[in-house]
Amino acid sequence: MIETVFLQGGLGNQMFQYAFYLAKKHSDMKVRCDYSLLQGQNRSHNGFELDAVFGIVDCESSILNKWVVRALIKINHLDKKWNYCLSIIFRLFKMRYIEDEIPSKYDRLRLLPNAKGGCCYFLGYWQSEKYFRDIERDIRAAFRFKEDRISECSRCILHQIKKTISVSVHVRRGDYLNMQNQKLYGGICTLQYYHKAISYFTTLYGREIFFFIFSNDAEWVKCNFDILNMVIVDCNKGENAWQDMFLMSKCTHNIIANSSFSWWGAWLNTNDNKKVISPSRFMNIGDSNDIIPSDWIVLK
């Protein structure tokens, strides 16, 4: 039996999926990581990024896997007659797929071998550290940034971060403002949320603290944030966006958005005394209990 974990979405989501793959691999399962769904699609993300950012090379691209899993997904949207007929065919060939819930819900059974045998395809985001908490050291080793490749701008920001009590603040707008995404992600990280989170740290540290704001809408931040010691980081775009995650991970503390990108920036922060503030939910459906680590501070 061979299991395949598919990569989808942007860098943060690919990191969750790869961590899920490593957790399954750690259990001595025959498992592959496949990025074929990221190819040939016109998206707002940068395609397969794990290799360029972290030097991860044990992922493959299989056109066969890509079309099989697409066919399996399509079956679920056919009428009952065709759904039944095609399902039988795939069962004969022992092919099936398992989808993660939205938002992600931890299910320990997903880490166990598929008792039914055959080929099993895993499609989803698997956004919970519970899947890989037991192999945390391996995950941190896999997601080690190439600091020698950061830009001069990032190097200057890093110097400021290291010499201050620094808090990263992630404000994600851009693609979150389109109609479909607004329904799913809108109204969660409000100005009130950011003001509460910032107030938490200013109460602790007063004028000593510096806030490093990472956003894809710097102008909006300038108009809506009036913070002492505020540095807006807007020099990393496109293929260099990973440098923002790197810089977030170097801050003393973190304020994240409902975004896997800043989730990883905070999780990869190695400061033993770090405080991470997270919104209480990541989506406007379901709950996000399994996404948010238990030691993070949750604000509404």
Enumerate domains of the chain plus CATH numbers. Answer: 2-134 (no CATH), 151-299 (3.40.50)
**How open is the CA angle 103-104-108, to the nearest 5 degrees?**
155
Instruction: Output phi, psi for 54, to 5 deg.
Output: -120, -5
- Give the integer Cα–Cα distance in Å for 121 and 297: 35
| 241 neighbors 46 (Cβ within 8 angstroms) | yes
Q: Average pLDDT, stretch 48-58?
A: 96
Average pLDDT, the chain: 89
Residues 6+ away with beta carbon under 8 Å from 246: 145, 147, 150, 154, 265
Strands 253-255 and 276-279: parallel
pLDDT of residue 255: 98
Q: Residue range 271-278: average pLDDT?
A: 97
Question: CB neighbours of 93 closer than 8 A, spacing ≥ 6?
Answer: 118, 119
pLDDT at position 93 over 70? no
Judging by beta carbons within 10 Å of its beta carbon (0-12, 13-18, 19+), is residue 90 exposed, middle or buried? Answer: middle
pLDDT class of 164 with cuts at 50, 70, 90: very high
- Distance (Å, whole) CA 10 – CA 140: 19
- The pLDDT tens digits of the residues spanning 169-210 come to 999 987 777 787 888 888 899 999 999 999 999 999 998 999
Q: Stretch 70-88: mean pLDDT, rounded?
A: 58
Instruction: Say what the pTM is.
Output: 0.92
Which residues have CB under 8 Å from 217's CB, separation 6+? 171, 173, 174
The number of C-alpha atoms within 13 Å of 10 and in the hemisphere containing its C-beta is 17
Q: Three-class SS of residue 162?
A: helix
Q: Quick one: three-class SS letters along 37-52?
A: HHCCCCCCCCCCCHHH
What is the per-residue pLDDT across 211-243, written as a single tens digit (0 to 9) for each?
Answer: 999 999 999 999 999 898 999 999 999 999 999
